[in-house]
Amino acid sequence: MGEIFIGSEAVANGVVTRHELQRWYRPLYPNVHVVRGGDPSYRDKVIGAWLWSKRNGIVTGTAASALHGAEWVDDDVPIELLWNCTRPPRGIVVRNERISDDEVIQLAGLPVTTPARTAFDLGRYLERGQALARLDALMRVAPFSAEDVILLTKRYKGARGVAKLKAVLPLVDGGAASPQESRLRLLFIDAGLPKPTTQITIYDECGRYVRTIDMGWEDFMVGAEYDGEQHRTNRAQYVKDQRVWPKLRELGWHVVRAIKEDCDADLVRQAWDAMVSRGWCPS
């Protein structure tokens, strides 16, 4: 017996009795069961959603990006399927949309949209900031061509959300290592600053590695770092950070350091002022 299975099939095949099904297992989705007391992972939920679709659905959106290896997908994120169903259960989003065979691959035994088709769907249905974070995460692990995504907009003329997708696609950068970094980069771009480069590696005068910063503008030696929780809870990381910042200043770098509690306007002002002081001329 697998960890996730279709209940009626298991009973019909004599794998379990109805009594055993009710006693030892619980429904994950209608007619899809898991061991009672277990804690299904997100991947388990994706498998369960596909089984619920009678093995007809195609995994797309955030769920597809997770199967491609993208990080930062919480367990409560709805599973998106391309299939024809008007009343999916809670936790599953179904869209009856066209899709071609060359937009589907097999991952972990499931039919999953290709990176390009996954990007096509993410960029159309998510809010701009969320879409960029998800697209960055997908690009980081399963690089896709923006040109291939644009070809899909031509293949499916009139598809919902294409204008949103086309607006966010040029901003995608697989160098972002977290959703917070994606958000910070978008904040700077929307404020009128040049698009920052991600993952800038800095060396000292002797060519020795000093630090790779999250993003910045190399020509002006201005950078930006998002300090996540690990920077405060990991003592070794904290000590390392405290030692590297003076060295970066010594090398001429001005690095804006952001934390969750910072005000967006303050972060923009710091970066803006630093860029202007280094010779940047706003248009």
Beta strands in the chain (DSSP E): 4-6, 25-29, 32-35, 58-60, 79-82, 92-95, 104-107, 110-113, 197-203, 209-217, 222-226, 254-258
In whole angstroms, give the CA distance from residue 224 to residue 270.
10
CA separation for the pair 84, 178 (Å, rounded): 34
pLDDT reading at 234 higher than 80: no
Nearest CA to 9 out of 47, 54, 62 is that of 54
**Helix or strand run (H / E) with residue 280:** none
pLDDT for the residue 83: 98
Average pLDDT over residues 27-32: 98
Domains of the chain: 41-171 (no CATH), 179-277 (3.40.960)
For residues 236-243, give the mean pLDDT.
71
What's the confidence (pLDDT) of residue 2?
Answer: 58
117: how many CB neighbours lie within 10 A of its CB? Answer: 24
98: region left, alpha or beta (phi > 0 left; psi from -120 to 50 alpha): beta
| 283 pLDDT tier (thresholds 50, 70, 90) | confident
- pLDDT confidence bin for 184, thresholds 50/70/90: very high
Quick check: helix, strand or coil at residue 208? coil
Q: Give residue 230's pLDDT.
A: 57
